[in-house]
């Protein structure tokens, strides 16, 4: 059974979006100034609640790098 046309379009658009996002992340991570992106794919909008451990780890790494 093949996927409905709407599903094919949605998957293509989502794949394009993910690809563009990963390219942006690469550019940010390689930019001068030491910026970096912490990827939390699938996190909720309230990322500090859904991924508390990841957020705390990222904050500790950030504050460590300030010194």
Q: Give the Cβ contact number of residue 17 at 10 Å.
A: 10
Quick one: pLDDT at residue 38? 87
Q: Are residues 26 and 3 in the same domain?
A: yes
Q: Are residues 10 and 30 in the same domain?
A: yes
Q: Are residues 55 and 29 in the same domain?
A: no
Range of the domain at 59: 38-67
CA-closest candidate to residue 54, choices 66, 39, 65? 39
Q: pLDDT grade, residue 55 (50/70/90)?
A: very high
Summarize pLDDT for 12-53 with one digit per residue, the tens.
999 999 999 999 999 999 998 878 888 888 899 999 999 999
Quick one: pLDDT at residue 35? 85
Q: Are residues 42 and 32 in the same domain?
A: no
Q: Are residues 4 and 31 in the same domain?
A: yes
Q: Please write down the HEC assignment for all residues of the chain.
A: CCCCHHHHHHHHHHHHHHHHHHHHHHHHHHCCCCCCCCCCCCCCCCHHHHCHHHHHHHHHHHHHHHC
Q: Are residues 32 and 3 in the same domain?
A: yes
Q: Are residues 8 and 29 in the same domain?
A: yes
Quick one: pLDDT at residue 52? 95
**Whole-prediction pTM:** 0.63
């Amino acid at each position: 059974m093949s996927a409905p046309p709407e599903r094919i379009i949605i998957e293509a658009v989502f794949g394009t979006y993910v690809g563009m996002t990963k390219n942006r992340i690469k550019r940010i991570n390689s930019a001068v100034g030491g910026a970096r992106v912490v990827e939390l794919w699938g996190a909720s909008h309230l990322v500090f609640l859904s991924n508390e451990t990841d957020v705390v780890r990222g904050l500790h790494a950030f504050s460590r790098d300030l010194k």
